[in-house]
Structure 1
């Protein structure tokens, strides 16, 4: 991999090395959650971009050094994370990250049983994040580019909370990450 691509991506990796061990707020760590989410995306046959979005969707929490406080408040981690990732990745990675919180609100509006399936922590953060969308908001959201990718990411996010689940290692997914970052670099030249 070209050195000019590895250097910036090492910044993202450093967040996972320093904060990936922090408890996610569920029964697993940030790193375990990220790997599980990316693994679910890969198993579903998602694009490389969506796998990378799944891997990094909660990086915004790590930008807050106090993840526990961030979970107690609406820290806008999805917006922070998408903006941070846009330095290296195209919208097909960053937009699903930006939309994964709105997707939870959308799914609560569209699927009656969805809200009850959320973990206690997800139900708490739903209230902080604006609650269930209105029908009009849900229609508007679903017509937005990348919104349905955000919904897919949200579903993997909800499932990626299994203690001691075996997943491919970080190195497996980081190769996919390099490919996506290289595509953005090629597009911008």
Structure 2
């Protein structure tokens, strides 16, 4: 197995237990839940992997704690998407790069969506530019992978269940490794 894929797994092994204020799950539990939601909805392996890894930028960031709580946007989508672009196809990296734009799009086009946002997502939304203009919505939907980014974003908000039973950490990381290898 390629060392860069192992580095991703090691990152989740070391930092996967981190929590962010306003989220009821660890980074690894959130990644696993999002991946399961994508799988359950019949997403292909690349989009499943994007769902798993969409927040990897938080783990790669050098910022301590919850950056949004002190008014900082860590631009995790850019950090993570650019990192993943070196390892995987655009089908993995682009939805990750676009999942914050998808949140802004959904808040604009589906007012009920805003009510589903966790406290940290609400905080970060302000820092990330808030709701889109109509012109920005049109531009976003014209981008390749915009629909995949929207799907990913929906799983992102749904994948924060603190009462959901996750398999053992080693089993979860092994599942991630197998999916990543399939997407190489």
TM-score, normalisation: structure 2: 0.91
**Measured at CA, do residues 52 and 64 of structure 1 come closer, stay the same or move farther in structure 2, by a change above 3 Å?**
same
Could you tell me which of 166, 174, 177 is aligned with 1:174? 177
The equivalent of 1:59 in structure 2 is: 56
The equivalent of 2:41 in structure 1 is: 44
The equivalent of 2:80 in structure 1 is: 81
How big is each residue's C-alpha offset from its partner over 1:81-121, in whole Å with a ceiling of 9 and x where there is no partner?
01111111010000000011010000011112111221221
The equivalent of 1:17 in structure 2 is: 13
Q: Which moved more, 1:65-74 or 1:52-61?
A: 65-74
**Number of aligned positions between the proteins:** 177
**Measured at CA, do residues 91 and 38 of structure 1 come closer, stay the same or move farther in structure 2, by a change above 3 Å?**
same
After TM superposition, the structure 1 = structure 2 runs for residues 22-171 of structure 1, keeping only pairs within 5 Å, are: 22-25=18-21, 26-72=23-69, 73-167=72-166, 169-171=172-174
Q: RMSD value over aligned CA atoms?
A: 1.4
Tell me the distance in 2 between the aligned counterparts of 1:174 and 1:52.
10
TM-score, normalisation: structure 1: 0.89
**Which ranges in structure 1 are unaligned for 5 or more consecutive residues?**
182-189
**Measured at CA, do residues 38 and 127 of structure 1 come closer, stay the same or move farther in structure 2, by a change above 3 Å?**
same
- Superposition misfits of 4+ residues, deviation over 3 angstroms: none
Give yes or no for contact 2:49–2:180 (8 Å, CA) kept in 1: yes
Tell me the distance in 2 between the aligned counterparts of 1:157 and 1:27.
13
- For 2:102, what is the secondary structure of its paired residue? helix
Q: Which moved more, 1:130-139 or 1:168-177?
A: 168-177
